[in-house]
Structure 1
Amino acid sequence: MTRIAFLGLGHMGLPMARNLVAAGHDVHGFDLVPAAVDAATAAGIPVAGSGADAVTGADVVITMFPAGRHVIAAYQEELLSAAQPRTLFIESSTIAVDEAQTAHALAIEAGHRHIDAPVSGGVVGAENGTLAFMVGGSEEDFAAALPLLEIMGKRIVHCGGPGLGQAAKVCNNMILAVSQIAVAEAFVLGERLGLEHQALFDVVSQASGQCWSVTTNCPVPGPVPTSPANRDYQPGFAGALMAKDLGLALQAIEQTSTDARMGRLAQEIYAAFAAGEGAGRDFSGIITDIRAGEV
């Protein structure tokens, strides 16, 4: 049994922590949001009064925070100094590559081990333990973290050195955003040409246009009963989070002088979506803006 501090018990963090508890590990949580604390307590996860209290005595610290600045501030202000030597830090927030590298350097300098391990798969993946983890860090630290990652995820890939897990996440979500927009546009076009949703789905899901945005996250009700379109676009993966991730992609595009016109356009579209009602809706709800001519 491993003692784990899990910081960030929101929609993703709490089910991930529950899966670790179910596997027999001793998990202690922390979150600043009272509702998250209440939900964790109801799930039987003891919640510490501070981040420092949570990590004291822990073998592994997992963080799932909203942004890179929160990660770096928490590391600098309390977590690294409170943790016992050689604690393994698993940073599963989605943050910028350079922020992940800064967090790694801070942890190593403080005498700890560290990997960046952002996730893909949304709330359903977190609940079912089927997340994908993209990991950056040393081979040794990846191997140490792997048994825990396998409890929370189904697909775990070591992408290289520090920050490269975040690099893979940025690239993956840029592809996802572009494909989700393209699928939404195609279904709107199909509607206006007189195609039934099911007919278009039956073609595309078995043809060269097949992709996750069609077969899992289909943006229209009916063809995929489990898609957010069948529950009024409740996330899922919220438009605000996609806009945030595309902001990180845009930052990387500019830092590397990459010609990524589709990525830039996707960032503009999702930023506008998230500025309105799309903030709290699933990102596949972009189809409503496309129908209304608002993109």
Structure 2
Amino acid sequence: MAAFLRGSRSVLQKPNRHVDLMLVFCRTMASKTPVGFIGLGNMGTPMAKNLLKNGYPVIATDAFPESCKELQDSGAQILDSPAEVAEKADRIITMLPSSPNVIEVYTGSNGILKKIKKGTLLIDSSTIDPAVSKEMAVAAEKMGAVFMDAPVSGGVGAASLAKLTFLVGGVEEEFNAAQELLTCMGANVVYCGQVGSGQAAKICNIMLLAIGMIGTAETMNLGIRLGLDPKLLAKILNMSSGRCWSSDSYNPVPSVMEGVPSANNYQGGFSTTLMAKDLGLAQNTATNTRTPVLLGSLAHQVYRTMCARGYANKDFSSIFQFLREEEGQ
């Protein structure tokens, strides 16, 4: 619908203001037209369901057909491939596990860019290498589409409650169009800069999260070894200078908090595999920019070791259980 407005806009050039005003008008008029959604895992499914709750028809697909059932039961139309989704929607959100998955979904033989319509807005909420986001933006631009990276922070719980934080990178004039959809799924939508800057912000945040979770698990374990009640220790930490998200909102010790993975044998949440993957992105970026990340590097090693020791599918807060097993308890 917005095809005639795109022309040859460059992600590196300032766009024509008249075109932008017309585009915003068309986007507004198209508010409740179908939205494509690709990637229906633990995060993608509740995100897409929140679009449905806000009145947006959703056209979706996933590499694993069984992952589509819950969303289909909620009223979404399920198709067989990303290319088919691109034929029917001019706003598409992707939520995928890794950089190779994103490359395949966008540029593969049945990828989005094979059937994309000019003027399509592409929003990728995967956590991937910032360089890959930039590559996808260039590939999309060649097809007359706009690509924005918008990785999320908040986890499965926040996805279900539409309280995610989206970190957005891309053409600033397209931010409002992206924000319209993202606010249906999140409480915070932050513009970070050009394409790739959302990913940069995300990997910085994930590195700090991993370091904080390891520190919280080690602290709780030490206190328990010293005879402190874990709930009391958590209460003390959370009213003191050691308080952090891992201690007050996502405590890794079973029985301390309800509604978190540690209360459910570390099932659900954010897997150790994905944490190791994201820390690898941070490590690679730090290496490429010659930035010392001493604790970040150690955290990467810890989570890689956990994956090799049978924790790959457990939530990343299972670092507490890992520490206890390491000491023979």
Shorter-chain-normalised TM-score: which range?
over 0.9
| Counterpart residue identity of residue 35, structure 1 | E
**Which amino acid in structure 2 is aligned with residue 289 of structure 1?**
F
Identify which of 275, 290, 311 aligns with 1:278.
Answer: 311
Whichever residue aligns with residue 17 of structure 1, its letter is A
Name the SS for the 1:157 alignment partner: strand
Q: 1:234 and 1:13 mapped to 2: Cα distance?
A: 17
Give 1:28's aligned residue. 59
Instruction: Identify which of 82, 94, 115 aligns with 1:51.
Output: 82
Alpha-carbon displacement from aligned partner over 1:63-109 (angstroms, at most 9, x marks no partner): 11121122122222331231211100001111011111111111112
Kept after mapping to 2: 8 A contact 1:86/1:111 = yes
Matched, 1:240 2:276: no
Confirm whether residue 65 of structure 1 aligns to residue 96 of structure 2: yes
CA distance in structure 2 between the aligned counterparts of 1:176 and 1:106, rounded to whole angstroms: 32
Q: 1:81 touches 1:110 (CA, 8 Å); kept in 2?
A: no
Counting only pairs closer than 5 Å after superposition, residues 1-295 of structure 1 correspond to structure 2 as 1-77=32-108, 78-293=111-326
Contact 2:83 2:112 in 1 (8 A): yes
3-state SS in 2 of match to 1:194: coil
Q: Distance in 2 between matches of 1:293 and 1:93?
A: 33
- 1:277 Cα deviation after fit: 2.2
Q: Say which one has the larger Rg.
A: 2
Distance in 2 separating the partners of 1:61 and 1:232: 35
TM-score, normalised with respect to structure 2: 0.87
Q: CA RMSD in A?
A: 1.2
2: CA distance, partners of 1:53 / 1:235: 30
CA contact (8 A) 1:27 1:46 kept: yes
CA contact (8 A) 1:235 1:283 kept: no
Return the letter of the residue paired with 1:50: S
Q: Deviations over 1:11-67 (max 9, x none)?
A: 111111111011111110011102112232222211012211111131201111121
- Counting aligned pairs with the same residue, the percent is 41
8 Å contact from structure 1 (residues 184, 287) kept in 2 = yes
Q: Report the CA distance between 1:143 and its aligned residue.
A: 1.4
Equivalent pair of 2:116/2:143 in contact (CA under 8 Å): no
- Following the alignment from structure 2 to structure 1, what is the Cα–Cα distance between the partners of residues 260 and 238? 14
What CA distance in whole angstroms lies between the structure 2 residues aligned with 1:41 and 1:224?
A: 33
| Greater CA drift, 121-130 or 262-271 | 121-130
Which has the higher mean CA deviation after the structures are superposed, 56-65 or 265-274? 56-65
In structure 2, distance between residues paired with 1:277 and 1:206: 34
Corresponding residue SS for 1:276: helix
What is the distance in 2 between the residues matched to 1:228 and 1:217?
A: 8
**CA-to-aligned-CA distance 1:163-208 (integer Å, 9 cap, x gap):** 0100011000000000000000001110111111112111100111
Counterparts of 2:164 and 2:120, CA distance in 1: 23
- Match of 1:65, as an amino acid? L
TM-score (norm 1): 0.96
Q: Structure 2, unaligned stretches of length 5 or more? A: 1-31
Quick one: distance in 2 between partners of 1:244 and 1:67?
8
Which stretches in structure 1 are left out of the alignment for 5+ residues? none
Letter in 2 for 1:254: T
Shift of 1:262: 0.2
Helix, strand or coil at the partner of 1:56: helix
Offset at residue 221 of structure 1 (A): 2.4
Moved over 3 A (4+): none
